[in-house]
Structure 1
Amino acid sequence: MPETGNPKSEGQPETASAALFGLCPRCGAKTLFDGMAKFAPRCRSCGLDYSQFNVGDGPAAFLTLIVGTIVAVLAIWLQLSFEPPFWVHAVLWIPVTTVLVIGGLRVAKAWLLGAEYRRRAGEGRIKD
């Protein structure tokens, strides 16, 4: 049975702040991540098992479309406005894309895990 809590419990962070800062959706401790975009196995503070949540590839798919659109539009605008040499695009857009993808993936995954926790999302199990 998944561990879920009351969505209005004290100590629970708002969804946006939990996503931005990697906070546990149950207690608000900064224990959600164990690396850049990898979830910790469980909260070191309250013991919430993060492995019960299935975030999947949804955040990565949406992020690919969003970041790709932003970078492509900005690169086209830069090229049409200033016509810089190719190396300027490489030096500019590779780091920008990397930062947006890693930072965005971290926020998107945390947001989705928090949403699953608050809505008590499950994997379609038949209850006994």
Structure 2
Amino acid sequence: MPPVQNSNDKFRWIVETGWKGLCPRCGKGHMFKSWLKVTDTCECCGLDYRFAAPDDGPAFFSLCLIALPLIFIVVWIQVAYNPPIWVHLVTSVPIMVAGCLLPLRPIKGWLVASQYVNRSQEAGTERLWNQLHGRTRGSNFDD
């Protein structure tokens, strides 16, 4: 279990392990087996990553936090300087692509670590998960 005593420790642990792509249980193993593919289990502590379901969260945060501000900058450049289209093709397009794709992995790691530390699951699915994984009532996915 992560060294979490209070909400500040919890947040620090989520950021540290999630953004670095480390196992949220032990902080040593790797969370990813490829760029955005979450590994099946941690090679150090054996954490089963079947609980991880960040879905479209990384794309949503990347678009909202990065793409929208970049779009405003590109539009401002267009309105203020009216450069030819080739300037946007050479500068704006690569900046938009890199700005949206590069943060996907750290954001996904942050969401997976957050799900683990906060023991997140869909409402009403605890009994089903316990049946699927042979757990007794009240146990968590960390056991």
Which amino acid in the other structure matches residue 57 of structure 2? G
Give the drift of 1:6.
Answer: 5.6
In the alignment, the residues of structure 1 paired with residue 111 and residue 23 of structure 2 have an alpha-carbon distance, to the nearest angstrom, of: 12
3-state SS of paired residue (1:33): coil
In structure 2, what is the Cα distance between the partners aligned to 1:26 and 1:106?
A: 18
Match of 1:26 in 2: 25
Partner residue, 2:44: 45
Give yes or no for the alignment of 1:8 onto 2:9: no
CA shift in 2, pair 1:35/1:95, >3 Å: farther
Q: Does the 8 Å CA contact 1:24/1:31 hold for their aligned counterparts?
A: yes
With normalisation by structure 1, the TM-score equals 0.79
Q: SS of 2:38's equivalent? A: coil
Say whether the 8 Å CA contact 1:59–1:109 is kept in structure 2. yes
Letter in 1 for 2:40: P
Task: Please give the secondary structure, in 1, of the residue aligned with 2:102.
Answer: helix
In structure 2, what is the equivalent of residue 125 of structure 1? 126
CA contact (8 A) 2:2 2:13 kept: no
AA aligned to 1:8 is: V
- Unaligned runs of 5+ residues in structure 1 are none
Cα gap change, 1:32/1:8 in structure 2, threshold over 3 Å: closer, same or farther?
same
1:80 aligns with 2:76: no
- Report what 2:115 is aligned to: 116
Aligned length: 122
Instruction: Write out per-residue CA displacement over residues 69-122 of structure 1, whole angstroms, 9 at most, x where no aligned residue.
Output: 122101012112322211111121222222222222112111111111111123
Q: CA deviation at 1:8?
A: 2.2
TM-score by length of 2: 0.72
For residues 18 and 64 of structure 2, what CA distance do their matches in structure 1 show?
20
Q: CA RMSD in A?
A: 2.3
Runs of 4+ aligned structure 1 residues displaced above 4 Å come to none
What is the aligned partner in structure 2 of residue 100 from structure 1? 99
Identity across matched positions, percent:
31
